[in-house]
Amino acid sequence: MQYRYKQDDRDLFDQFFRDGYLILPDFVTSDDCDCLMMRMDELVDAFVRTDQVTSVFSTLTHDHMKDKYFLESADNIYYFFEKDAFGEGGLLYPIQDSLNKVSHALHDKDLVFNDFCYQPRIKVLMQDLGYSDPVIRQSMYIFKQARIGGEVAMHQDSTFLHTNGKPVIGVWVALEDATLDNGCLWVIPGGHTEPLRQKFVRHRDDTLSFATLDITPYNQDGAIPLEVKKGTAVVLHGLLPHSSKQNTSGQSRHAFTMHLTDRQDGFPVGNWMRGYDDNA
Ligand code: FE2
């Protein structure tokens, strides 16, 4: 297995901190992409056979339950639906075609995803970027379903995962080709040098809210699409504004993403996945 990426480490480092992102073609083999997709098929099939479906459905109408399900997902493999998957009579499509994402602890709770996430080359990549002791804080399988895969508004990942030092880094892997039509990522190159706009906070009573830190608008005109092939990894600085548009095509755009921090930068209370458990 190739642990070092082809480019000089210094090039990677400079490029990442200049642009706020890296594109690494062929970071993951086509076979490994297929393997993750097949494993997700199995997990979803198992989910379909449980009665969790109704409890998930109820989360759409009960905010308290919605928060509870979301908070519990920090340490579990939980299933979230696309909002456009529902009509007045319930689900419009089979469950397999209705999910938005499965998250947030695939890396810890599933052997196949665990193997993928803890392969040494990901740790080495993080170390090349100056993260000497990387920790995976969350993982998500994103479906971006054909036709109903919803838009993700421009945001910074540091809004959702805070540290006391270097920002969170996202490693996003295209499991299928990502195109303009099926909702590829968009980024604002260099936008990571601007301030953090919002902070998502978990309060002592386990409620969640956004605190506004800076009202500078995103330079949406500066956004560029990242059309990438299956197996490409896109590495995102936590402050880099990024988004994706609705999938208007008949082709899904599956992706798997991990968010990592450096252990030495801490993971303070108030993070949504940590809360105020001082022993966490
Ligand atoms: Fe993001």
- The total domain count for the chain is 1
**Residue 110 alpha carbon to ligand 1 centre in Å:** 22
Give the domain range for residue 81.
10-265
Cβ(184)–Cβ(247) under 8 Å?
no
pLDDT for residue 53: 52
Residue 99 covered by a domain: yes
Residue 272 covered by a domain: no
Query: How far is residue 85's CA from residue 65's CA, in Å, rounded to a whole number?
Result: 19
Signed CA dihedral, 280, 211, 135, 145: sign only:
positive
Residue 3 covered by a domain: no
**Residue 36 alpha carbon to ligand 1 centre in Å:** 20
**Residue 226 alpha carbon to ligand 1 centre in Å:** 14
Cβ(144)–Cβ(254) under 8 Å?
yes
Residue 224 covered by a domain: yes
Residue 276 covered by a domain: no
pLDDT for residue 79: 92
**Residue 89 alpha carbon to ligand 1 centre in Å:** 32
Q: What is the pLDDT tens value at each position of the chain, 280 positions in all?
A: 344 555 556 778 889 999 999 999 999 999 999 999 999 999 999 988 886 554 444 334 445 456 788 899 999 999 999 888 888 888 888 989 999 999 999 999 999 999 999 999 999 999 999 999 999 999 999 999 999 999 999 999 999 999 999 999 999 999 999 999 999 999 999 999 999 999 999 998 888 899 999 999 999 999 999 999 999 999 999 999 999 999 999 999 999 999 999 999 999 999 999 867 554 4
**Residue 111 alpha carbon to ligand 1 centre in Å:** 25
**Residue 37 alpha carbon to ligand 1 centre in Å:** 20
Sequence-ordered list of residues with C-beta below 8 angstroms from that of 94, at least 6 positions apart, any chain: none
**Residue 42 alpha carbon to ligand 1 centre in Å:** 26
Residue 277 covered by a domain: no
pLDDT for residue 56: 44
**Residue 202 alpha carbon to ligand 1 centre in Å:** 18
Question: What is the pTM (predicted TM-score) of this model?
Answer: 0.92
Residue 129 covered by a domain: yes
pLDDT for residue 157: 97
**Residue 251 alpha carbon to ligand 1 centre in Å:** 21
Q: How many helices, marked H, and strands, marked E, lie in the chain?
A: 7, 15
CATH code of 53's domain: 2.60.120.620
pLDDT for residue 8: 59
Residue 280 covered by a domain: no
pLDDT for residue 66: 61
pLDDT for residue 91: 85
pLDDT for residue 60: 42
**Residue 155 alpha carbon to ligand 1 centre in Å:** 6
Query: How far is residue 125's CA from residue 258's CA, in Å, rounded to a whole number?
Result: 13
**Residue 101 alpha carbon to ligand 1 centre in Å:** 13
Do β-strands 233-237 and 21-24 pair in parallel, antiparallel, or remain unpaired? antiparallel
Beta strands, E only, 175-279: 185-187, 198-202, 208-212, 224-226, 233-237, 242-244, 255-262
pLDDT for residue 229: 98
**Residue 88 alpha carbon to ligand 1 centre in Å:** 30
**Residue 64 alpha carbon to ligand 1 centre in Å:** 24
